[in-house]
Structure 1
Amino acid sequence: MQPREVVVLSEQLPRFMRLANVLKSQLAGPEGHDRAALVLLYPLTRLGPLRQGALADELRADPSTVSRHVAVLVGEGLARRVADPADGRATRLVVTDAGLAALAAMRREQTAMLSRITADWDEADLTVFTGLFNRFLDDFAAALPADAAPSTPTPGDLR
């Protein structure tokens, strides 16, 4: 038999996911940018220039979906393709200054929203929650099948 808290958590998780999906659908990307495409900027800024296939692998995402989002980023000037020094026939994606600005705007928007949500929390509760939530996310990722779990955390996963 599972501890009562695990049963409660299993009931709360779908609610959290529904709320996160509502939030995703209501928030537009900064300056009208496609929020789903902007999410690709996180690993590109964290890991540096990547080939499009490596980006899809990193995110454990469908290559065709990543391709569509990359086209948006490049088309809006948020990322650019540069020759891969290891293979001149291939390209890597690099975040532009405009991409960094859009990513910073999205982070500010997320921080402001989380500040509103936690405005009545005391600092100790927020510290405990943040630590436990990070632990939960790490354990959640570790429990996923190897071909489904991201190899590195993706911050700002309110996309």
Structure 2
Amino acid sequence: MSPVAAPAAGPSATPSADRVADVRALSDHLPRFFRLVQALKQAAGVDGRDRAALVLLFPLVRVGPLRQSALAELVHADPSTVSRHVAALVEQGLVQRVADETDGRATRLLVTDAGRAAAERLREERTAHLAAVTAGWSDDDLAVLTELFGRLLDDLTAALPADSRPAFPAPREKP
């Protein structure tokens, strides 16, 4: 694999054979990455539906109270699936429905203190797992991966049609 380098001269430049091979290798790595993410979720011993429900806490914490339909749109999920997950979160006391001040007939979803704590626990678990997996990496390697992975996600997001992009930017700040 070639080292990290500046982008090619432009879209009209003919890509080198090494670049084509690297892009193909990256393309082959992505399905493996997605399968590993699924395997990690299963290995965590948490029911996939429960975990999927908990993951909905993150956009609610980041963006603030939302209507359920807006949350479904934000996370690109089927409204009926989000409805089931939200019902579980409400039942667990992690989210509450509050009146929408702009439309008395509608409600918005508000994360409770318990919901914020659950989201933080999930984030801490994920962070601890990644810390353990990358413990043998140099600080420089970890920094390069973190920067380039964020850049890849940004560029993948930018390649989406404007109406399909997430409504909020991913966190990119360093602690």
| TM-score w.r.t. length of structure 2 | 0.81
1:4-153 residue pairs with structure 2 within 5 A? 4-29=21-46, 34-153=50-169
Q: Which runs of 5+ in 1 are unaligned?
A: none
**Offset of residue 151 of structure 1:** 2.7
- Matched-pair contact (CA < 8 Å) for 1:60–1:147: no
Structure whose alpha-carbon radius of gyration is higher: 2
Decide whether the 8 Å contact of 2:63 with 2:168 is kept in 1.
Answer: no
- Contact 2:100-2:108 within 8 A present in 1 as well: yes
Q: Is 1:43–1:154's contact at 8 Å kept on the other side of the alignment?
A: no
SS in 2 for 1:34: helix
**Aligned positions, number:** 153
- Report SS of the residue matched to 1:151: coil
> Which sits farther off after the overlay, 136-145 or 9-18?
136-145
Aligned partners of 2:124, 2:108: CA distance in 1, in Å? 27
CA deviations over 1:79-130 (Å, ceiling 9, x no partner):
0001111111111000011111111110110001000110011111111110
- 1:153 Cα offset (Å): 4.3
Contact 1:51/1:93 (<8 A) preserved: yes
Output the aligned Cα RMSD. Answer: 1.9
Shift of 1:152: 2.4
Q: Look up the equivalent residue of 2:140 and give its one-letter code.
A: A
Instruction: Give the secondary-structure state (helix, strand or coil) at the position aligned to 1:60.
Output: coil
- 8 Å Cα contact 1:42-1:154 kept in structure 2: no
Q: 1:138 to 1:19 in 2, by over 3 A?
A: same
- Per the normalisation by structure 1, the TM-score is 0.88
Letter in structure 1 aligned against 2:20 = P
For 2:8, the equivalent position in structure 1 comes to none
Please state how far the C-alpha of 1:146 moved relative to its aligned partner.
4.0
Highest relative contact order (Cα 8 Å, sep 6+), 1 or 2?
1
Query: Do the aligned residues in 1 keep the contact of 2:95 with 2:110 (CA within 8 Å)?
Result: yes
The CA deviation at 1:150 is: 2.2
Q: Which amino acid is 2:136 matched to?
A: D
> Any stretches of 5+ residues in structure 2 without a counterpart?
1-14
